[in-house]
Amino acid sequence: MGTSYDAKDIKVLEGLDAVRLRPGMYIGTTGIKGLHHILWEIVDNSMDEVTNGYGTKIDIILYKDGSVSVEDDGRGIPVDIHPQLGVSAVEVVFTQLHAGGKFDNENYAHSGGLHGVGASVTNALSEWLLVEVYKNGTTYKMEFESKEVNGKVKGGVPKFSLFDTGVKTKKHGTFIRFKPDARIFESVVFSFDTIKRRIKELAFLNKGAHITLTDEREGDEPVKTEFCYSGGLIDFVLDLNDTKIPCFKNPIYIVGSENNIDMELAFQYTDGYTDNVFSYVNNIPTTEGGTHETGFKSGLTRVMNDVARKMGVLKDKDENLKGDDFLEGITAVLSVKMQNVQFEGQTKTKLGNPDARVAIEHMVVGELNKFFDISSNKTIADAILKKALVAAKVREEARKAKEITRQKNSIENFNLVGKLSNCTGRRAEDNELYIVEGDSAGGTCKQARNRHYQAILPLRGKPLNAEKKRIDQVLDNVEIRTIISALGCGIGDDYTEEDLNFHKVIILSDADQDGGHIRAILLTFFFRYMKELITGGHVFIGMPPLYKVYKKDIVEYAYNDDELDKAKAKVGRGFDIQRYKGLGEMNSEQLWETTMDPKRRTLIQVSIEDAAEAEKLVSTLMGDAVEKRKAFIVENANFNREDNFKIN
């Protein structure tokens, strides 16, 4: 080929150049999630100060110029000269990857940060960054900027070295303000609601921590919210169960410490049928669970079976109840603080440390035995055991219902003739399933689709609300069985990604009250019994247009009221408007052009970014607390807004 390949061809990226060249390696994405990631890195550093007992407050401010600041009352970043690098420790923290005080256990007993990557990555991906350190009775200051050097933009370049401003202060801690670089991110607009959800979670997890969020971006008066929970995890569980009926008033709360692993646990049972266990390691959500969750569940099972025998609920001849029996209806929050964390799983949110399972199980068994030894707590034990016994009685029925998926007359073999209009493509990763409201819309979709990779499944009635029913009752519903059969991947513990027939599952319903209800019911079913379908990125909401604006041969479609004004302006004077009340009002050509053509359609991917918030949202909208549901809908519902389809 004649092309030389010498030492000169090996590129060495200096300083923070690698971060700007491949930001996805450090923050996952340059989309809105990555934008918030660089904020979390700074917030997590402040929270590490609070968690380790060096501070109590964190203040976050969103400014009109697009920048954001985080201030804590911790010890303040060290300001002395680094012995190896010859510059201030502040400069080292913000310009060197893998530099920080968290590589040993002398400064931090445990940390939720990325071990020295965070602050420097935030700096590298910012247009500018300012840091002030309040220490030794004075204020230190340093600034960084992104600037062009030899035709290339370099991030995180010191504007000047750290200096003592001479401004005396009684404060202690660190103030950091930065502006994300619009050349890196798809959007540089922070979401108030996203930040609010995360800091609320952090406030629950860190009892007594006072966290404020102030938004100065719009209007004359700033919007301010603050969180501080003296009850910590107890308050967290009560908040999660706000729309449910508890089996006993106060959550069970236990703490323990063993082999440098600290545990906090709070849980309460409700009249629901699903288990909701939320676990965290060093404030990081472990949405895939892990060894700490395993330790909790096995410890709970051991203790409750022992209690059942002591109370005579189980006789000598009776078998122990299963772990699942003691999980039905539970809402639990488990927070673990530990060193040398090992994460596993596709998204690195599963704890892998074997010692965590042993320690957590031992602590749970010891502390729960103490709890149930107290005579006044026997009524709580009785409530839990009654619920577990009911769960055990229907366990066999539920198991048999799941067995339907493996037998000759299984859900997979459920008669789909006349229901599913399948596609001809054999590559599941290319195939799409449109779940459509009603036969009329289904007929139009069948005519409009690309038969090679688009399948159509019309619903002929409303599926069952899975929030209010056990799994065996859910599987008796014809519409639910049809959906499971079409997908082919099984449900619950039997879910198998490799057997999924369609890698895009698109809910397509009318933009009215009934359509919104069907969307909510389907999302509830997926969330409760096929959560991996959502976390795997397979569930989407189709967005049919609400309006057609036309004049002679000029046609524009609008998907919401804001787009309607733009469409009117494009078409010009003398236009007519057609308001679509349902999918059936469009002909097949219009439906393909606006809603099904991958080149022109709008799909909203359903995601779960905050499992605890998603749980509360689903139970509020689909549970039995009517007044709370009405209040939520009045405040939030607008089924034409894209962001309302994301379970964030």
- pLDDT per residue over 510-554, tens digit each? 877 788 888 888 999 999 888 899 988 999 999 888 899 999 888
- Give the closest residue to 164 by CA, choosing from 141, 135, 143: 141
Selected catalytic residue, list 193, 514, 562, 597: 514
Sheet order of strands, 252-258 included: 252-258, 261-269, 330-337, 276-281, 284-285
Q: Which two tokens stand for residue 231?
A: 């009850």
Per-residue pLDDT at 438: 80
Based on the number of CB atoms within 10 Å of its own CB, is 170 exposed (0-12), middle (13-18) or buried (19 or more)?
A: exposed
- Give the closest residue to 202 by CA, choosing from 223, 229, 225: 229
- What is this structure's pTM? 0.77
Per-residue pLDDT at 116: 39
Based on the number of CB atoms within 10 Å of its own CB, is 473 exposed (0-12), middle (13-18) or buried (19 or more)?
A: middle
Per-residue pLDDT at 13: 43
Per-residue pLDDT at 408: 37
Please tell me the distance from the alpha carbon of residue 183 to that of residue 383, in angstroms, as a whole number.
Answer: 58
Segment 457-470, tens digit of pLDDT: 998 777 888 887 77
Q: Reduced to 3 DSSP states, what percent helix, strand and coil does the chain have, rounded to the nearest 5?
A: 40, 25, 40
Strands (E), 376-513: 432-437, 454-459, 504-508
Selected catalytic residue, list 44, 49, 325, 510: 510
Selected catalytic residue, list 318, 512, 589, 597: 512
Q: Which two tokens stand for residue 169?
A: 């202060």
* pLDDT mean over 133-159: 91
For 501, residues 6+ apart whose C-beta sits below 8 A from its C-beta are 428, 431, 433, 486, 487, 488, 489
Is 437 labeled as catalytic in the residue annotation?
Answer: yes
Per-residue pLDDT at 402: 56
Q: Where are the alpha helices (DSSP H) in 138-282?
A: 192-205, 233-240
Q: Would the CA dihedral through 551, 554, 558, 564 be positive or negative?
A: negative
Residues composing the chain: 648
**Residue 347: is its pLDDT beyond 70?**
no
Residue 118 to residues 96, 114, 251, 433, 617, Cα–Cα distance (Å) = 10, 6, 36, 40, 31
* pLDDT mean over 180-191: 94
Q: How confident is the model at residue 147 (pLDDT cuts 50, 70, 90)?
A: confident
Please tell me the distance from the alpha carbon of residue 334 to that of residue 330, in angstroms, as a whole number.
Answer: 12
**Residue 124: is its pLDDT beyond 50?**
yes
Per-residue pLDDT at 641: 41
Q: Are strands 261-269 and 210-215 parallel, antiparallel or unpaired?
A: unpaired
Based on the number of CB atoms within 10 Å of its own CB, is 397 exposed (0-12), middle (13-18) or buried (19 or more)?
A: middle
Please report, for the chain, the start and end positions of each structural domain, with discontinuous segments joined by +: 17-227, 233-401, 428-544+588-645, 547-579
CA atoms within 13 A on the CB side of 606: 26
How does 73-84 read in b/e, with b if 16+ C-beta sit within 10 Å? bbbbbbbeebee
Is 127 labeled as catalytic in the residue annotation?
Answer: no
CATH 1.10.645.10 applies to domain 233-401: no
Segment 197-255, tens digit of pLDDT: 999 999 999 999 999 999 999 988 999 999 999 999 999 999 999 989 999 999 999 99
CATH number for the region 428-544+588-645 comes to 3.40.50.670
Please tell me the distance from the alpha carbon of residue 59 to that of residue 50, in angstroms, as a whole number.
Answer: 12
Mean pLDDT of the chain: 86
Is 613 labeled as catalytic in the residue annotation?
Answer: no
Q: How confident is the model at residue 272 (pLDDT cuts 50, 70, 90)?
A: confident
In the three-class reduction of DSSP (H, G, I as helix; E, B as strand; rest coil), residue 321 is classed as coil
213 compared with 85, residue with greater pLDDT: 213
Is 494 labeled as catalytic in the residue annotation?
Answer: no
Please tell me the distance from the alpha carbon of residue 602 to that of residue 599, in angstroms, as a whole number.
Answer: 9
CATH number for the region 17-227 comes to 3.30.565.10
Sheet order of strands, 539-542 included: 454-459, 432-437, 504-508, 539-542, 603-605
Per-residue pLDDT at 404: 53
Looking at this protein, which amino acid is placed at residue 103? Answer: F
